[in-house]
Amino acid sequence: MPQVAVNADGRFLTLSEGGRHARFHAIWLRDNAWDSETRSPGNGQRLITLGDIPAGTRIVAAAMSGTTLHVTFAPENKTVAYDPDWLFARSYDVVQARDAGWTGAEIETWDAGLMANVPSGDFAEVSANPDALRRWLSAVARHGFGKLTNGPVEDGALMRVVALFGYVRETNYGRHFEVRTTVNPTNLAYTGLGLQAHTDNPYRDPVPSIQVLYCLESSAAGGENMVVDGFRAAERLRDENREWFDVLTRHCARFEYAGEAGVVLRSRRPMIELAPDGELIAVRFNNRSAAAITDVPFDEMETYYAAYRRFGEIIDDPGMEVTFRLNPGECFVVDNTRVLHARKGYSGAGTRWLQGCYADKDGLLSKLASLNLKEAAE
């Protein structure tokens, strides 16, 4: 059974069990109470604001009763029950210092070595079997992309893929867009040219965080799809030259799209974006949509361009790419904040028709979390 001790002035308590110890402040514990006066029993949302909790909140008593910790707070004279395991799982007592560019345990970065084990699922199976869907979504979340095979070969089938986990995000391109050769295209994606690995729509704020590309026809030679892990590319740059990594995280690039009447999209964000604590949270890289960089000081501009060049070389390295061909009824889903995608050039002979659309990653992660909770409860 856990042991609990309150410090002399009641500002925090220490919870101990076996070899683990964790301290929790009084104000943190009170803010994270789960009693019916603090949280809605139906959805868990807070019913009070921090301003409703006295600023001088202190712990006046704490004791274990069976497997439950009971804590009494002053000046409210309120006793709240806590699950010690819940508290230990949320311990903030020792926050490890981590190097800039770190990723969470749920993320696995990769290179061409993933080619033999591309995250894949069967459309019919993930549509009918929640556990198969959970496994596939988990692989997409971990690696940043995943394929689906054996889907229907029908116009609009990609909408059924998005419906597995979320909702379509409509843009100026519509609810979906066609990817095939056209005359006088408004976007280079609609030609047979090969495309450098890139993230889509970096000129939007926020960018669409999920992209789906679904194949309906594929008889043209070439046109293989390719993905590159932008997080692994950022790690390589950091490990090779910390100054170059830092300059790409510290300054904003600019992106712009004005390829059709009435549309002018602009944004400024770092090519490698970090959270305040150094977590790697996004990569934006798109040579076609890069605007003039004007937010880098004169004395750092040459360093910035050297870093930009090297980052592009790493992204272009064949040792970084996973390549696969999409056949009719197959698609892939990509985390557009992390994984860059590209395609090889293809010939004018035969046909190549893909449909694409955007969605949001929060929907995918929400679906995955709910499936994980259900699986854990069974």
- What pLDDT digit, counting tens, does each position of 41-95 carry? 989 999 999 999 999 999 999 999 999 999 999 999 999 999 999 999 999 998 7
Does residue 168 share a domain with residue 35? no
Look up the CATH number of the domain holding residue 246.
Answer: 3.60.130.10
Does residue 80 share a domain with residue 127? no
Whether residue 123 is contained in a domain is answered as yes
Whether residue 184 is contained in a domain is answered as yes
Which tens digits make up the pLDDT trace of 312-351?
A: 999 999 999 999 999 999 999 999 999 999 987 766 667 7
Cβ-proximal residues to 20 (8 Å cutoff; 6+ apart), any chain:
88
Q: How confident is the model at residue 173 (pLDDT cuts 50, 70, 90)?
A: very high
For 203-231, give one letter per residue: b (16+ CB within 10 A) or e: bbeebbbbbbbbbbebebeebebbbbbbb
At 88, is the secondary structure helix, strand, or coil? helix
Total structural domains in the chain? 2
Q: How confident is the model at residue 183 (pLDDT cuts 50, 70, 90)?
A: very low
Does residue 20 share a domain with residue 136? no
CA distance 225 to 204: 24
β-pairing verdict for 145-149 and 120-122: parallel
Does residue 139 share a domain with residue 43? no
Whole-number Cα distances in Å, 242 to 93, 110, 234: 30, 20, 10
Q: Which helix (H) or strand (E) holds 216?
A: strand 210-218
φ/ψ of residue 77, rounded to 5: 55, 45
Instruction: Give the residue among 60, 155, 91, 98 at the shortest CA–CA distance from 353.
Output: 155
Q: Which has more confidence, 282 or 190?
A: 282
| DSSP calls for 15-51 | EEETTEEEEEEHHHHHHT--STTTB-TTT--BSS-GG
CA distance 252 to 240: 21
Residue at a domain's end among 27, 54, 89: 89
| DSSP calls for 142-209 | HHSEEEEES---STTTHHHHHTTT--EE-BTTBSSEEES--SS-SSGGGSSS-EEEE-S-TTSSSPPS
Which tens digits make up the pLDDT trace of 191-217?
A: 556 678 999 999 999 999 999 999 999
Whether residue 103 is contained in a domain is answered as no
Dihedral-angle region of residue 231 (phi above 0 means left; psi in -120 to 50 means alpha; beta otherwise): alpha
Does residue 169 share a domain with residue 41? no
Does residue 191 share a domain with residue 85? no
Look up the CATH number of the domain holding residue 28.
Answer: 3.30.2020.30
Q: Provide the 8-state DSSP code for 77.
A: T
76: domain range?
3-89
Whole-number Cα distances in Å, 333 to 161, 170, 312, 358, 364: 9, 16, 23, 10, 11
Does residue 117 share a domain with residue 62? no
What the block records as the tokens of 140 is 């997409």
Does residue 62 share a domain with residue 197? no
Whether residue 99 is contained in a domain is answered as no
CA distance 367 to 375: 12
Does residue 221 share a domain with residue 128? yes
Residue at a domain's end among 54, 89, 124: 89
Question: pTM here?
Answer: 0.91
